[in-house]
Structure formats: C-alpha cells, structure tokens
A and B are shown apart, each in its own frame.
Chain A
Amino acid sequence: MNVFAAIGRAVLTLLAEIGRLASFTGRSVAAIFSPPVYGRLIGQQMMSIGYFSLPVVGLTALCIGAVLALQIYLGGNRYGAEAIVPQIVVLGITRELGPVIAGLMVAGRVAAAIAAEIGTMKVTEQIDALTTLATNPIKYLVVPRLVAAVIVMPLLTVIGDTIGVYGGYLVATENLGFTGSTYLKNTVDFATHQDIVSGLIKAAVFGFIIALMGCYNGFNSRGGAQGVGNATTAAVVSSSILILAADFILTAMLFHTS
C-alpha cells in the first residue's frame, strides 16, 4: 500500500468532514434567525439540558472546589503562602474549572443524549418524515437545542461556580483552620467582574459546541443501532476535545496574553 496515497486519503477525508461540519453549522446558525421560532421546544430543551444537569454539575463542582482548596493549601505551604487559598480557588473556579467542568459533564450527558435521539430519528426515517410534513428538520430539531444550550450553560456555570467556591470554603474552614468570614471576604474582594464574565462567555460557547456536535453526529448517523452508537460516541469525544481547544483559544483572546 502506498503510504502517500494513505496519507492523502486521510487528509481528504478530514477536509471533507470539516467542510460538512462547517456547512451544517452555517445552515443551523442561519436557521436560528429565520422564522418560525419554536418557543415551546426551546423551553423543553432548557429543562432537559439545563435543569436535569444540575445534580451532576453541582456535585462535580463541589468536589473540584474542595480538592482545589486542599491542593493550593499544600502547595502554598511550601512557600508559607497558605493564606492565598480563597483567592486562587475563586480565580480557578470562575475562570477555568467552573465552565470547563460544567462543559465536560454536560457534553457527556447531553451531547450523547442528543446524538442518540436524533440518530434514532434519522435511521427510523423520522427526519425524512419531518421534511414530508413541510417542517425543516434543522429548524425543528437543531435550533431549539442550540439556543437552549447557549442559554443554560452560563446559568449552570454560575451555579457551579457558587457551589465550587462553597466546596473550597468547606474544606478551608473545616480542615485548614480558616475562619469563615475572612475566607468569604477574601473571595469577594479578590474576584473581579472579568473573572466571572469570561467564564460565562466560555460556558455559552461550550453550550453551542455541545448541542452542535450532538446534532451533527445524530444527523449523520447511518445504519441501525450500531450507527447510532457510533454517533453517540463521536458526539461526546468530539465535543469534549472541541471544548478544551476552544477553552485555550478563548482564554488567550479574553485575557490578551499573546
């Protein structure tokens, strides 16, 4: 087998995939801004994407906040800088871990569910049926999920941030000898608007990625149960990778480090 032919084929496949995704994204975004608007469907999706993700996002945020406080205390200890725990916890949670953990958790829960649902609709011809009933599948299926995810991800992140900081507070006051009032004062004094807002912008972008990759992989699934399984896996993997890549790019853009 010719090595160059194999490399060439892989590159072409990748470029074709990027092209398909770009075209799908373009059509989806265009559909957001054209009538009809399915308000009831957006509401339903906000419930299933946002509300039902609260337990998993809250629980992971609590654990991350707690472990962060512990690690910073141990690390700071080497320089006699233990007192910096509340400042670093709130910075780490609001800027990075809050949105990223929420994004990855929701990617696992929601991108998979979206890909499975739309993939099943695809292989059972329900998406073709939408077309024959004079309903645009992109507007009916993709737009409500995209809009709902972009709205609820920042809300989830605000809640996750709060619980994460509280996790740090619990460990710091119970185990590390901080007094509650000092910890909270240091947290509030240190955190800036930019820390929080930058995290929420990231969360909105992550929401877009999650819904988009779920829908895209669902729409492109073929061939029965196995195809739907593959689409589900691809949705979770691709959205997780894209979230981490976007996180880096957004951080560089938002904080002008370059």
Chain B
Amino acid sequence: MTPKIQLIGVKKSFGSKVVLDGIDLVIAPRTSMVIIGGSGTGKSVTIKSILGIIRPDEGTILVDGVDITHINGAARDKLLKKFGMLFQGGALFDSLPVWENVAFGLIQGRGMKKKQARDIAIQKLAKVGLTADVAELYPVELSGGMQKRVGLARAIAADPEIIFFDEPTTGLDPIMADVINDLIVSTVKDVGATALSITHDMASARKISDHIAMLYGGKIIWTGPTAEIDHSGNPYVDQFIHGRADGPIKMAVKA
C-alpha cells in the first residue's frame, strides 16, 4: 500500500545549525503517528516541511506517492486542501468570531456560502463539545482549553485527509489534556484521517498514537508501534519516555 506520507533523507539547516539531518519516515493511511523528542529537535520543522511552509535543503517528501517537495502555485493550493492542522498556541484569528474561525477554510479556501459554512462550523464545534453560543464569541474570550477545542474544530472543518497536531496538550491542565486526547482520537477516527502529531507529553503520545517515532540529533533514532515503546532497547528512548535527567541525552543547560 502506498504510504500516505513518506519522508526520504530530508535535511534542513538554518545558517550553520543543522536541524534535520536526513529524516526518513513512513506513515500509513488512516494511522496515527506521533513524533516525540526534546524541545528544539526539529519536530515543528518536520511538520512545516511537509506543509511547504519551510522548504527542505535536501531530500524528498511524498504525499500519496506524489513528490511534493518543490510544488508551487495551483498544485500546492490543491495539496493544502488535504491538510488540517491544530497549532500549539491555537493560532486562532483574533479578528474573527469563533464560528468564522472554524468556517474559514470552507469560506476562503473553498468558496462555500457563509450560511452553509456556518452550519458546518456549528456541527464541528458540537463534535469538540462546544455549544452554539460559543460560536459568536471571539477567541480572546475563551480559556486555553476552549481555544484548543476551537482549533481542533477548525482543523477538521473541511474533513481533511491528513491532520497535524503540534503539541496538542501543551499548556493544558492534565484533565483538559486528556479531554483533548480523547477528542483527537475520536475526531481522527470519525474523519478517517491520517494523523501526524508532535509532542513531548508521553501520556498524550501513548494515547493518541498507533506508531511512535523519536527524533534526536536531526534523525529518527527509533520508530515502532506504540505498544513496543517500553521495550525499545534504545537507551535514548528509555531516557526520554521516563523523563530522566541522566542518560545518553545531555541537555545543554548553558546556552
């Protein structure tokens, strides 16, 4: 079966700083992959490379078997319609009310009529546990957890084939984090999407993933089914998932 997303030898440097040093990753259709790794290891850069927001220096990125590494213009617009993304800080448009945020991709990206898009937005908000009266509020009036839910509703509004989650539980209390995890699992299943998430929250990673990949030193150093993460036999993975300060990964305490 053709992988939904495939990265082959993707490299990216910013100035003299090598962030991605040859990433190889395969994500099968309708599965959920989570990339774990410390802060600043290039997890976000990986997702932004697939979206084309960042252009990799080397390597190939395939979506549905098609090389999308250098596409532009109309082909790129078409490709972007396959994607949805939940941003770490929500990235909601603060000039627009909640429902227009959720309906944005439908109205602006796909030219849907406002009334119809609004009905869909209300449905999607209900899916993430928000009532219709939230729809008229502005993002600044919402709590962090509610902003995440609106962000999630926006990510799934256009029924994307692929959904990216950037640190979905960061900054939430443990209970709200678990609520969001549940929502991610159920919405991804509902839509029948392929999911790629990045996180350093292991509880979240275990819950929302079928497969886990660990990013360290610009490379994927381990990948496998979620159930096997505790028996990886990889000292880097062991140190990370148990959150130990001592081990092969040395944190640069001084910059």
Contacts and interface: CB of A to CB of B under 8 A. Distances in A.
Contacts of B109: 133-135
B108 interface: yes
B154 interface: yes
Question: Among A126, A131, A132, which residue has the most Cβ atoms of chain B within 10 A?
Answer: A132
A134 B154 CA distance: 12
Nearest to A132: B85
Contact of B80 (A125, A126, A134): A134
B85 to A, nearest CB: 4
Nearest to A129: B91
B89 A132 contact: no
B91 A124 contact: yes
A126 B85 CA distance: 11
B142 to A, nearest CB: 14
Nearest to B155: A132
A162 interface: no
A128 interface: yes
Given A128-B48, A131-B51, A134-B77, A140 B87 contact: no
A140 B88 CA distance: 22
A136 interface: yes
Nearest to A38: B108
Contacts of A134: 77, 80-81, 105, 108-110, 158
B83 interface: yes
| Chain A, interface residues (CB within 8 Å), range | 10 to 19
Interface in B102-132: 104-105, 108-111
Contacts of A124: 89, 91
A131 B82 CA distance: 12
Contacts of A131: 51-53, 80
Nearest to A139: B108
Contacts of B85: 128-129, 132
Interface residues of B, number: 27
Interface string A125-164: 1101101111110001000000000000000000000000
Contact of B105 (A125, A128, A135): A135
A132 B83 contact: yes
Contacts of B164: 132
Interface string B80-102: 11011101110111100000000
Nearest to B78: A134
A36 B154 CA distance: 21
Contacts of A125: 87-89, 91
Given A133-B108, A133-B154, A135-B104, A126 B77 contact: no
Contact of A126 (B81, B91, B155): B91
Given A134-B80, A134-B81, A129 B108 contact: no
Interface in A104-139: 121, 124-126, 128-129, 131-136
Interface in A197-245: none
A126 B77 CA distance: 17
Contacts of A136: 77
A128 B53 contact: yes
A10 to B, nearest CB: 17
Question: Among B89, B91, B93, which residue has the most Cβ atoms of chain A within 10 A?
Answer: B91
Contacts of B108: 133-135, 140
A125 B147 CA distance: 14
22 contacts: A36-B111, A121-B93, A125-B89, A125-B91, A126-B92, A128-B48, A128-B53, A128-B85, A128-B91, A129-B91, A132-B80, A132-B164, A133-B104, A133-B108, A133-B158, A134-B77, A134-B81, A134-B110, A134-B158, A135-B104, A135-B105, A135-B108
Cβ-closest 9 pairs across A and B: A134-B109, A133-B105, A129-B91, A125-B91, A132-B85, A135-B108, A134-B80, A125-B87, A134-B81
Interface of A: 36, 121, 124-126, 128-129, 131-136, 140
Given A132-B84, A134-B77, 20 more contacts: A124-B89, A125-B89, A125-B91, A126-B94, A128-B53, A129-B87, A129-B92, A131-B51, A131-B52, A131-B80, A132-B51, A132-B83, A132-B105, A133-B105, A133-B154, A133-B158, A134-B108, A135-B104, A135-B109, A136-B77
